Amino acid sequence: MRLILMGPPGAGKGTQAKFVADHFGIPAISTGDIFRANVSQGTPLGVEAQRYMDAGDYVPDEVTNQMVRNRIDEPDAQPGFLLDGYPRTLAQVQELDGMIAFTGHSLDAVVVLTVDEDEIVDRLLQRALVEGRADDTEDVIRKRQAIYSEQTEPLIEVYRGRGILIEVNGMGEVDDVTERIFEALDVVPQS
């Protein structure tokens, strides 16, 4: 399976990504997690990414694309993968198309978690208290949402046009959302 999980910041992508990836026996690849790991290890990539992340801006496409390309070239991603947090721009969509075409496979489905934006600001502020992420202040959260609406939401129509979009209600209990995603994906034919 080659899957994308999309949704606004705070929609619960990271939580659901792990469950879905385990279900299909594929790695969950989270660009946010990879960036954060690089930041905490102080790698050159981390140093480059940090200033964008702290401001709530997207890391430049060339940097992100190269990082994803390297990750999906790894052996564990050959049977498939679930992308969490990528692609986020139209340029990333094109780049990903090229990466997947090169392997002779295709993208099987794009799952979008639909949520109530005001409710998720509360969720993110709560996460800020628990996890202490540097980019979880209210101003930065609102900015991340605005950038999502402007740059990432248009991707939904691109994938709808290809007939591979699946919208799932992301509100409610974590387990219920997981169940909804499984139900929707279990009928998707794998390429």
Where b means 16+ CB within 10 Å and e means fewer, 119-129 reads ebbebbeebbe
Measured from the CB of residue 138, what is the shortest distance to ligand ADP in angstroms? Answer: 14
Query: Which of these, 36, 15, 9, 1, lies nearest to 109 by C-alpha position?
Result: 1
Looking at the Cβ atoms of 37 and 101, the one nearer to ligand ADP is 37
Q: Closest-CB residue for ligand ADP?
A: 32
Catalytic residue IDs: 13, 88, 127, 133, 144
Quote the tokens at residue 89.
């721009």
DSSP state of 53: H
Point out which residues bind ligand ADP (CB under 6 A).
9-10, 31-32, 35, 52-53, 56-59, 64, 85-86, 88, 92, 135, 144
**Minimal distance in Å, beta carbon 106 to ligand ADP?**
20
Nearest approach in angstroms of CB 189 to ligand ADP is 27
| Closer to ligand ADP by Cβ: residue 138 or 183 | 138
